[in-house]
A and B are shown apart, each in its own frame.
Chain A
Amino acid sequence: EVQLVESGGGLVQPGRSLRLSCAASGFTFDDYAMHWVRQAPGKGLEWVSGISWNSGSIGYADSVKGRFTISRDNAKNSLYLQMNSLRAEDTALYYCAKVSRFLEWLSWFDYWGQGTLVTVSS
C-alpha cells in the first residue's frame, strides 16, 4: 500500500525557515517524480515544486522561486522542502504527491499524503 506521510509543519515567524519532509513507502521511490502542492485555508490547490526521480529536473512556482528548495534522498525514501524567508501568504496545508508514470517528471498525481500545516505568523 502506497503511503506518503508529511511532517515538519508548525508555527513559524515571518522571515524564518522550516523544512518539510515526506516519508514514502509501498512503492519504488526512486522510480517516480514527486511534487509538493499546498492549499491555503479555504483556498484552492497551488502547485509548489516538483523533482524528477533522479533530481535531474526541478521546477518551482513563481511564488516560491528563490526561497524554497526541493530535494530528495532516494536511499531514505524521502522528499524534502526547505522553506526560507517565509511569509504570511505561505500559510497552508502542504501535501506531497507522487506522479503516476514511471520516470516521468510531469504526470498526473495518483497518491497524495494527508498534508502538514504550516502557519507563518508573528
Chain B
Amino acid sequence: NFMLTQPHSVSESPGKTVTISCTRSSGSIASNYVQWYQQRPGSAPTTVIYEDNQRPSGVPDRFSGSIDSSSNSASLTISGLKTEDEADYYCQSYDSSNRRVVFGGGTKLTVL
C-alpha cells in the first residue's frame, strides 16, 4: 500500500506563487490520476485540480497541477495568491489493485 506525503504547512504573501508537493511512497505517480481538493474551515472539500492537471469549471487558471516522474510526485501551483486561497489542500489518488482511494495528509496554506 502506498502513501501520499505532503508538507504540513506552507505560507506565502499575496500576489506570489506557491507550490505544494505530494510524493507517492511506492509505485509510479503516473500510474493513477492525482486530484487536489481545497477545504476551507467549516466547509466540505471542493476540487481544484483533477486528473493531474485539469481544472473544473469555475476554478481560476491561477491553479495548476502537474506530475513529475523523476521525483515521483505531484504538485499544485497557485499563482497570484489571494487571501481567499488560504485553506487546507489535499492530494488524492487511487490504488486500483487494492480498490482503495488514498489521500495525502493535507497542507495548510497561509497567505499573509
| Chain A interface (Cβ < 8 Å from any Cβ of B) | 35, 37, 44-47, 50, 57-62, 95, 100, 105-106, 108-110, 112-115
- Which residue of the partner chain B has the closest CB to A99? B101
Determine which of A44, A109, A113 lies in contact with B106 in the assembled complex, contact meaning CB atoms within 8 Å: A44
> Which residues of chain A are near B39, meaning CB under 8 Å?
45
> Which residues of chain A are near B100, meaning CB under 8 Å?
47, 50, 59-61
> Which residues of chain B are near A106, meaning CB under 8 Å?
32, 94, 96, 99, 101
Say yes or no: B44 contacts A47, CB within 8 Å. Answer: no
A115 to B105, CA, bound (A): 19
Count of B interface residues, CB-CB < 8 Å:
27
Q: Which of B12-20, B21-29, B46-54 contacts A (4 or more CB under 8 A)?
A: B46-54
B33 at the interface (CB under 8 A from A): yes
> Do most interface residues of chain A lie in helix, strand or loop, or is the interface mixed?
strand
Q: Which of A45, A57, A95 has the most CB of B within 10 A?
A: A45
B37 at the interface (CB under 8 A from A): yes
Say yes or no: B44 contacts A108, CB within 8 Å. Answer: no
Q: A57-B99, A108-B50, A108-B92 are in contact. List 4 more A-B contacts (CB 8 A).
A: A44-B105, A45-B90, A105-B99, A114-B44
A112 to B99, CA, bound (A): 20
Say yes or no: A95 contacts B44, CB within 8 Å. Answer: yes
> Which residues of chain B are near A115, meaning CB under 8 Å?
44
Say yes or no: A113 contacts B44, CB within 8 Å. Answer: yes
> Which residues of chain B are near A46, meaning CB under 8 Å?
103
Say yes or no: B51 contacts A59, CB within 8 Å. Answer: no
Determine which of A37, A62, A100 lies in contact with B50 in the assembled complex, contact meaning CB atoms within 8 Å: A100
Distance between A57 CB and nearest chain B CB, rounded to angstroms? 6
